[in-house]
Amino acid sequence: GRITATFGGTTKTPTLDVWGAFAKPRFESGLRAESVVVAAAGALAPELDLRGTLRVAALAAKERALGNVVASFEGGRSMRINRFQQSAGDTTLTMRGVLAFDEAGVTARVDSLRLVAGALRVNAREPARVTLVRGRLRASPLVFDLEPGRLDADLDWDISGGRLDARGSLSGLDLA
């Protein structure tokens, strides 16, 4: 990969402009991609405050293709995701929310979420809490309008172990 960074500002208010491109990265969580490009710029102090974009081509978890990702973000130790879009074939996932980083991993509040998969349309009815710690993704509560119907669920995905545990209930579906 390649990273280019320019530092500016003063010693009291330093700034950063960074761009990075990585070919075929593999992550500890089991995720991999064909390429990742990230760009960010903003203040390093007195508070970290960056704005940036992320592009991931051919994202995959083990052998499962997850498509391409485009995102924009702003913030510091708490990062607002203004736009996240993941597309694979006829499936597109879009969402917005807030990420918080600490030594253990990442915690997110997903404020809005929409999934379009062929004729299926799914919209989140309320914010969800998502954590990613040591290769394990957990999400709850997941409350979705299914057009028609409703799904209430929670999810526990051990990405590196290849195990998915999900519980939920469906209501308002016309099975005829």
Q: For the residues 40-63, what does the mean pLDDT come to?
A: 94
142 exposed, middle or buried (CB, 10 Å; 0-12, 13-18, 19+)?
A: buried
Burial 150-174 (b: 16+ CB within 10 A, else e): ebebebebebeeeeeeeeeeeeeee
What pLDDT was estimated at residue 103? 85
Give the span between the Cα atoms of 171 and 153, in whole angstroms: 12
**pTM listed for this prediction:** 0.79
What pLDDT was estimated at residue 164? 94
**DSSP letter assigned to residue 28:** T
Whole-number percent of the chain with pLDDT over 70: 99
pLDDT at 63 over 90: no
Q: For the residues 126-131, what does the mean pLDDT come to?
A: 94
pLDDT in tens, 138-171: 999 899 998 889 999 999 999 878 899 999 999 9
Give the span between the Cα atoms of 83 and 76, in whole angstroms: 16
Q: For the residues 35-52, what does the mean pLDDT come to?
A: 96
Phi/psi zone of residue 161: left (φ > 0), alpha (ψ -120 to 50 degrees), beta?
alpha
pLDDT at 174 over 80: no
40, 16 contact by CB (below 8 A): yes
